[in-house]
C-alpha cells in the first residue's frame, strides 16, 4: 500500500504553527475512481483564513489544507469513461489540495479545458471564475461601461482586468503601490490610480463624467468607503473580500439620495448551486481566454510540501509579486 505526503492541520491557529506534514495511506483506485498527482496548489487568502478558523466554511478536523489545485490523472478505474490518463483536472476541493496524490470519485473530479498550462489551470477555478461572475451577475454592463475595483493587482483583480478587456468594458484600477501601475496597464488596465484621497479629483479626468455602475471591493475600510463615492445613481458595490479586516461604511446621503447598493459575492456559494454542466461551461469560456494568453497570474515562489512553514509565512506577506504555490511533486 502506498502513502502520500500532505500538509494537514488538526486545530486552528496561526497557519505556520498548526500545519504539519503527514504521510497518509493512499487507497487502491476503485472502479469509479481516479488517482491524481497534484502539480500545483496555490495558497489563497481563504486557505489562510480556513487554517486560522475564521473562514465561513470550515472542514471537520483533522483536515488537509488548501482548496484549489491542478493535478494530472495518473490512474483510472475500469468504469470511468469521461476522464483519461494524462488529463489536467481539479481534484474535489473538499478533500484538501496540499497533498502529493489523491484518490477521488471520478464524478467529483472536473476536467480543465484543453490547451491550458499547468500554471493557468492551477488558478482558474477561484480567481478568474470570481472575476467573471462578478462582472456579469450584478449589473448588465455594456461595452464602453466603466468598472472600478480596489486591490487591482490581486489574482482576482488581474482577472477582472483581462475579462473586462475582452468584453469591451473599461477598468479603473486602484492599487496601493506606484510600481504596479505600468504592470497593470501592460495587462490591459485602462486606468490605474493610487488608492488614496487623491482619487476623487482624478476620477473625473479618467471617466470624463461617465457613470460608474459597478465597483468591486475586496479591501473594506477606507478603501471601500472611497469606492462608494465613485458610483453613479443606483450603482452597486460588490464586496468579495476584506483584506484590511475593517468593516464597510456607507454615507447616509449616498444611501438615500443615490440609492447606492451593497452586495456580496462568494464563489463557493455559486459552485454549490451550479450544475456540473454550468461549471464546465464557465470554465470553457475562461479556457478560451486562457488559450489567448489570459490568467498567467504571476507566481512569486513554488514550495515543496516539506517547506510548508516558510510557504505559509510567505503567503501572508503583503506587497508580494505573485501567488505562493505548493509544488508537491517537484
Ligand X SMILES: NC(=O)c1ccc[n+]([C@@H]2O[C@H](COP(=O)([O-])OP(=O)(O)OC[C@H]3O[C@@H](n4cnc5c(N)ncnc54)[C@H](OP(=O)(O)O)[C@@H]3O)[C@@H](O)[C@H]2O)c1
Catalytically active residues, by annotation: 55
Q: Which is closer to ligand X, CB of 4 or CB of 149? A: 149
Q: Does 136 bind ligand X (CB under 6 A)?
A: no
Exposed / middle / buried, residue 66 (Cβ in 10 Å: 0-12, 13-18, 19+): buried
Q: Does 301 bind ligand X (CB under 6 A)?
A: no
Residue nearest to ligand X (CB): 241
User: Binding ligand X by CB under 6 A: which of 146, 240, 308, 326?
Assistant: 240
Q: Does 8 bind ligand X (CB under 6 A)?
A: no
Of residues 182-221, which lie at the interface with ligand X (CB under 6 A)?
218-219
Q: Does 244 bind ligand X (CB under 6 A)?
A: yes
User: Binding ligand X by CB under 6 A: which of 266, 274, 296, 304?
Assistant: 266
Angle 155-166/127-136 helices, nearest 10 degrees? 50
Q: Which is closer to ligand X, CB of 8 or CB of 125? A: 125
Q: Does 267 bind ligand X (CB under 6 A)?
A: yes
How many CB atoms neighbour CB 145 within 10 A?
A: 18
User: Least separation, in Å, of the C-beta of 136 and ligand X?
Assistant: 14
Q: Does 243 bind ligand X (CB under 6 A)?
A: yes
Q: What is the DSSP letter of 275?
A: -
Closest by CA position to 44, among listed 65, 62, 60, 71: 65
User: Binding ligand X by CB under 6 A: which of 124, 141, 156, 248?
Assistant: 156
User: Binding ligand X by CB under 6 A: which of 142, 177, 204, 276?
Assistant: 177
Q: Which is closer to ligand X, CB of 225 or CB of 265? A: 265
Q: What is the CA radius of gyration of the chain?
A: 21
Exposed / middle / buried, residue 318 (Cβ in 10 Å: 0-12, 13-18, 19+): exposed
Q: Which is closer to ligand X, CB of 29 or CB of 51? A: 51
Query: How many residues in the shown chain lie near ligand X by CB under 6 A?
Result: 26
Concatenated DSSP letters of 72-87: EEEEE-TT--S--TT-
Q: CA 67 from chain center: how many Å? A: 11
Q: Which is closer to ligand X, CB of 82 or CB of 137? A: 137
User: Binding ligand X by CB under 6 A: which of 130, 173, 228, 327?
Assistant: 130
Of residues 51-110, which lie at the interface with ligand X (CB under 6 A)?
none
User: Least separation, in Å, of the C-beta of 319 and ligand X?
Assistant: 4
Q: Which three cell numbers stand for residue 110?
A: 472536473
Distance CA 249, CA 216 (A): 15
Distance CA 73, CA 165 (A): 34
Measured CA to CA in angstroms, residue 40 lies from 67, 117, 149, 166 at distances of 11, 11, 28, 27
Distance CA 109, CA 29 (A): 14
Closest by CA position to 132, among listed 325, 264, 18, 289: 289
Q: Which is closer to ligand X, CB of 45 or CB of 77? A: 45
User: Least separation, in Å, of the C-beta of 153 and ligand X?
Assistant: 5
Q: What is the DSSP letter of 220?
A: B
Interface contacts to ligand X, rule CB under 6 A: 44-46, 126-127, 130, 151, 153-156, 176-177, 218-219, 240-241, 243-244, 265-267, 318-320, 323
Amino acid at each position: 500500500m502506498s502513502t502520500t505526503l500532505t500538509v494537514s492541520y488538526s486545530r486552528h491557529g496561526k497557519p505556520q504553527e498548526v500545519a504539519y506534514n503527514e504521510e497518509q495511506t493512499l487507497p487502491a483506485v476503485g472502479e469509479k475512481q481516479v488517482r491524481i498527482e497534484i502539480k500545483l496548489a496555490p495558497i489563497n487568502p481563504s486557505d489562510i483564513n480556513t487554517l486560522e478558523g475564521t473562514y465561513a466554511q470550515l472542514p471537520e478536523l483533522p483536515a488537509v489544507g488548501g482548496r484549489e489545485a491542478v493535478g494530472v490523472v495518473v490512474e483510472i478505474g475500469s468504469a470511468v469513461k469521461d476522464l483519461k490518463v494524462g488529463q489536467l483536472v481539479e481534484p474535489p476541493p473538499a478533500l484538501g489540495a496540499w497533498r502529493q496524490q489523491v484518490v477521488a470519485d471520478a464524478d467529483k473530479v472536473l476536467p480543465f479545458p484543453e490547451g491550458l498550462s499547468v500554471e493557468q489551470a492551477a488558478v482558474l477555478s477561484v480567481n478568474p471564475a470570481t472575476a467573471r461572475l462578478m462582472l456579469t451577475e450584478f449589473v448588465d454592463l455594456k461595452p464602453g461601461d466603466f468598472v472600478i475595483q480596489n486591490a487591482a493587482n490581486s489574482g482576482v483583480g488581474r482577472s477582472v482586468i483581462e475579462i473586462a478587456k475582452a468584453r469591451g468594458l473599461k477598468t479603473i484600477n486602484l492599487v496601493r503601490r506606484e510600481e504596479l501601475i505600468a504592470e497593470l496597464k501592460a495587462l490591459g488596465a485602462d486606468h490605474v490610480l493610487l488608492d488614496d484621497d487623491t482619487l476623487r479629483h482624478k476620477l473625473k479626468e479618467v471617466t470624463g463624467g461617465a457613470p460608474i455602475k459597478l465597483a468591486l471591493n475586496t479591501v473594506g475600510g477606507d478603501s471601500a468607503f472611497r469606492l462608494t463615492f465613485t458610483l453613479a445613481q443606483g450603482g452597486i458595490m460588490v464586496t468579495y473580500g476584506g483584506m484590511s479586516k475593517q468593516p464597510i461604511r456607507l454615507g447616509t446621503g449616498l444611501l438615500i439620495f443615490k440609492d447606492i447598493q451593497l452586495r456580496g459575492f462568494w464563489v463557493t456559494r455559486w459552485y454549490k448551486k451550479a450544475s456540473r454542466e454550468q461549471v464546465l461551461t464557465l470554465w470553457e469560456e475562461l479556457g478560451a481566454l486562457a488559450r489567448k494568453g489570459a490568467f498567467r497570474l504571476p507566481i512569486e515562489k513554488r514550495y515543496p510540501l516539506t517547506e510548508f512553514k516558510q510557504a505559509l509565512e510567505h503567503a501572508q506577506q503583503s506587497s508580494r509579486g505573485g501567488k505562493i504555490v505548493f509544488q508537491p511533486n517537484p
